[in-house]
Amino acid sequence: MDNIFASFFTASFIALVIRVGTPLLFASMSAYSADIAGIPNIAVEGIMIFGALFGVYFSAISGSAWVGLLGVIGVGVLCALLIAFFTMKMRANPIMVGIALNLFAADFSIWLLLVWTGSKGTTASLPSKVLPTLEIPGIKDIPVLGTILSGHYFLTYVCILLAILLAILVYKTPFGLRMKACGLDAYAAQSVGIKVNRVRLIAIIMSGILAALGGAFLSMGYLSIFSNNMTASRGWIGIAANAVGQGNLLVVVLTTVVFAIAQGVVSQLALTALPSELINTIPYICVLLGLIFLSVKEYRKAKAR
């Protein structure tokens, strides 16, 4: 047990946190980019399921992981357009639309799995491809730093780059200001000439792509197959991280890091004799504590008014 706790303070553990935190960060950025423009996207989990499944399928039928990745992006865009149609065109409640898409993705993916493979469990019979890992020249040979920063999956570096670009977009560009204006007060934004529906459409498409990439990471990097329920509520954890952040991207990212550390602890403790059912609750306990903290903060803010 002492060796397990000592492993929490190693470069390998930090690398593990980065690896398990990648899909969580994709999910939290997905929830954030839609929510900040005024359309809460709680279908992150369902889009991640579709991204994971179709990434495997497209890579298998094309024989290329990169074609599979393009297919994943396309699926993310289609899911986003579906959400946009019902929420902006049909004026449906975005929460209800998200719930419907999550339920549809969970069941429809099993049906597709059965049609394509004859199994309801995994796509192990499909000759799917995986995205490569990247070794960073000059850094990979540096002790400790090389272990932490080099050798991760391709989508991990894409995720970090997209987080930086999202921060620049939201805080340093006119379009980012329009996104925040649409989220704060759509009528006020429209009154000053902002095309609210266009901004929200772009934001929801960004959200769909990010969620789908998070799913693709799970089935084309973290693992090389799709399995039933492989997202394991990571989309909901991303939504919780966005809720805690309350529109502040830095807080969203830091909250995601906390959840990723909890997920890394789970992976390390899985090597011990502790009951797996108990260990697997750790990330969700962290999510619950984060939401309790948010509720207390909101209660105190309301009481002070």
Instruction: Find tokens 């306990």 and name the residue.
Output: 285
Helices (H), the chain: 2-6, 11-35, 44-62, 65-84, 94-117, 145-149, 154-172, 174-184, 186-191, 196-217, 234-245, 249-269, 276-279, 282-304
Residues 171 and 64: their CA atoms lie apart, in Å, by 36
Average pLDDT of span 236-261: 92
Is the pLDDT at 22 greater than 90? The verdict is: yes
Is the pLDDT at 305 greater than 90? The verdict is: no
59-77 pLDDT, tens digit per residue, is: 999 999 999 999 999 999 9
104-152 pLDDT, tens digit per residue, is: 999 999 999 999 988 888 888 888 899 999 888 888 888 888 888 988 9
233: left (phi over 0), alpha (psi -120 to 50) or beta: left
- Cα 73–76–79 angle (5° rounding)? 150
pLDDT at 171: 94
Residues 41 and 19: their CA atoms lie apart, in Å, by 24
Is the pLDDT at 2 greater than 60? The verdict is: no
Residue 271: pLDDT band (50, 70, 90) is low
Average pLDDT of span 87-101: 93
Q: What is the pTM of this model?
A: 0.92
Q: What is the mean pLDDT of the chain?
A: 90
CB atoms under 10 Å from CB of 125, counted, come to 12
pLDDT at 1: 53
Rounded to 10 degrees, what is the CA torsion of 64, 70, 73, 77? -130
pLDDT at 239: 94
206-224 pLDDT, tens digit per residue, is: 999 999 999 999 999 878 8
pLDDT at 294: 79
